[in-house]
Structure 1
Amino acid sequence: MTRRLLGTLFAMLTASALVGTAPAEAATTTFAGTVALSNCSGSVVKPPEASLDDPALVLSNGHCLQEGFPDPGEVIVDKPSSRTFSLLSKDGRSSLGTLKAKKLLYATMTDTDVSLYQLDTSYAKIKSRYGIAPLTLSPTRPSAGIAMDVVSGYWKKIYSCNIDGFVHELHEADWVWKDSIRYTSACKTIGGTSGSPIIETSTGKVVGVNNTGNESGQRCTMNNPCEVDAAGNVTVRQGINYGEQTYQLTSCLSHSELDLANPNCRAPKP
């Protein structure tokens, strides 16, 4: 998993040298709405039907929790939290301020790798104080081939590539994720980029959350996920990185609260 705290010293130095840069094709994507966690990246996201007066939500990975990785099969809901997040400026060069969680709304590493924090302030108040609007969660499944940006608040770097395809099951150590997004090779994400929003460049909406990559070519081990198709065949793609889709979350949220009872909600439940 690309929390991988936090890659090698070489990766850290390389990423630091590239802070604030982005490929030309990612020029329309900015750092507005992104946050830095203590160990990962994240973003302020709004469900499509939510009001600006609703409590704001922060999206990241389940494996980015301060208390450690959730166990396979574990789903955490409505847990008090005071975690803080550094809100980035549009150009990513500075922190505008610190946002604070009220609770960990949802987190799991089963079928997906996601965490959602509910903040102690609203989208409207964040906009009023910092001039930053939230990113919108797309309610529709993305398509293979679309242009995408992985925006890392931790490293202040944008990775641009395309969706290469989707993985039936992605296995890493004891965890299994379903219908994962496979990136084309141009997105060389590193440790600390975990939790970054995957933004569809044509719409500016969030279609996924960055979570892992195969570092050394090993098969289905920690930091070396493998692809397993419907027939059980295993494929290892060294150097290729992955994310998890987020459109499923929109049917599990009512404004900024969980609605796991919604019959359209397909997210794992406790």
Structure 2
Amino acid sequence: MRKPLVAALFALVIAGAGAAPAVAAPAPEAAPARTAASAGASGTRAAPAVQAVSLAGTVALSNCSGSVIRFPNSADTDPALVLSNGHCLETGFPEPGEVIVGQASNRSFSLLNSRGSRVATLRASKVAYSTMTDTDITIYQLTTTYATIRSAYGISALTVQNTHPTAGTAITVASGYWKRLYNCSIDGFVYRLKEGDWTWKDSVRYTSACNTIGGTSGSPVIDQATGKVVAVNNTGNEDGERCTVNNPCEVDASGNVTVRQGINYAEETYQIPACFTTGNKLNLAASGCVLPKP
């Protein structure tokens, strides 16, 4: 997560340009928002066989990455949803404690196929939910349905897993902005991740192979064994500073602070499905919904 979206974030992308995207990226409409860059290194275990994880279903925003998502109980006729970060919201970063629900939006998204080619432009009808409190997510409702997207473009939405991810899981961070895949594993989980004025709960820490760069904010983190979304990519410690913007720190249950320069993180998404009911309607009062409320 990066506060100065033009200056610091653009500088970050330039600094990270040494790792060229797998497919040439288009010129950005705006400075890409920063995301996780590289993550911890602990534990090794054999990864399960990798599914054919690709860029299909990911989207490129003007300054971030994202994906078309559905939940286990979503219907093909439901309005489709796009997941990105709270700090990618076009109206600016939500303040600590702020939750945005039902905000009008006509934001556009470039829908990508498995090769990273744009096959369509999708458009939002509203911001269904956005916050940077406890987590870092924005969920847009689109003007079209899953069935229409699949029929017209052959692209299916990515399903959000509704159970907690597991340490050691082989994952892929799929960036629609850069049209690039990053493969690594979940190194572990962070009790509290603090960056500037924001605090996130139970964050995912990557192993170092996911050396993501600016513009990958909002990328889906995909379990390679199931193909399901288990988190959304959002930040990393750039300079080794303690708990400052661009330099999140880990805080354990006893209040001990750990700084891991070069380590990158994501926010879990398993809590989201319980908050969306029939017709993909947001219901923050639904049983099992623990997302922050306005």
Same structural fold, with TM-score higher than 0.5 when normalized by the shorter chain = yes
1:211 and 1:155 map into 2 onto residues whose CA distance is: 15
Q: Secondary structure at the match of 1:59?
A: strand
Aligned to 2:272, the other structure's residue is in SS state helix
> Does 1:12 find its partner at 2:14?
no
Separation in 1 of the partners of 2:51 and 2:226?
14
Counterparts of 1:50-89 in structure 2 under 5 Å? 50-89=74-113
Q: Deviations over 1:64-89 (max 9, x none)?
A: 01111000000000111100000012
Which residue number corresponds to residue 118 of structure 1? Answer: 141
1:153/1:206 CA distance change after superposition, 3 Å: same
Q: Deviation at 1:208?
A: 0.5
* Identical counterparts, % of pairs: 61
- 102-111 or 249-258, larger mean C-alpha shift: 249-258
Q: Which of 172, 181, 190 does residue 158 from structure 1 map onto?
A: 181
SS of 2:238's equivalent in the other structure is coil
Q: TM-score, normalised on structure 2?
A: 0.87
Alignment of 1:1-270 (within 5 A): 1=1, 5-6=9-10, 7-12=12-17, 14-16=19-21, 18-19=22-23, 28-92=52-116, 94-254=117-277, 255-270=279-294
Distance 1:185 1:13 in 2: 16
> Could you tell me which amino acid in structure 2 is paired with residue 153 of structure 1?
G
Deviation of 1:26 after TM superposition, in Å, equals: 6.0
The one-letter code matched in structure 2 to 1:166 is: F
Q: Structure 2: how far apart are the matches of 1:247 and 1:115?
A: 14
Which amino acid is the alignment partner of residue 169 of structure 1? R
| Counterpart contact for 1:78–1:105, Cα < 8 Å | yes
Contact map agreement 2:13 2:213 (CA 8 A) in 1: no
Please list the CA deviations of residues 89-128 of structure 1 after superposition, one character each: whole Å capped at 9, or x if unmatched. 2111x21010000000000000000000000000000001
2:45 maps to none
1: CA distance, partners of 2:230 / 2:141: 19
Residue equivalent to 2:40: none
TM superposition shift of 1:184? 0.6
Q: Which letter maps to 2:14?
A: L
Distance in 2 of aligned mates of 1:130 and 1:89:
9
Mapped partners of 1:27, 1:256: distance in 2: 27
Which secondary structure state, in structure 2, belongs to the residue aligned with residue 39 of structure 1? coil
Question: Post-superposition shift, 1:5?
Answer: 2.5
User: Structure 2 CA distance, aligned partners of 1:8 and 1:113?
Assistant: 20
Alpha-carbon distance, 1:239 to partner: 0.6
* Runs of 4+ deviating beyond 6 Å: none
Asked whether the equivalents of residues 250 and 259 of structure 2 are also in contact (C-alpha less than 8 Å), the reply is yes
Deviation at 1:27?
6.8
| Matched positions, count | 264
Conservation of the 8 A alpha-carbon contact between 1:26 and 1:158: no
Task: Please tell me the root mean square deviation across aligned C-alpha atoms, in Å.
Answer: 1.4
Q: Report if the CA contact (8 A) 1:26-1:149 is conserved.
A: no
Contact kept? 1:44, 1:134, Cα under 8 Å: yes
Q: Distance in 2 between matches of 1:117 and 1:256?
A: 11
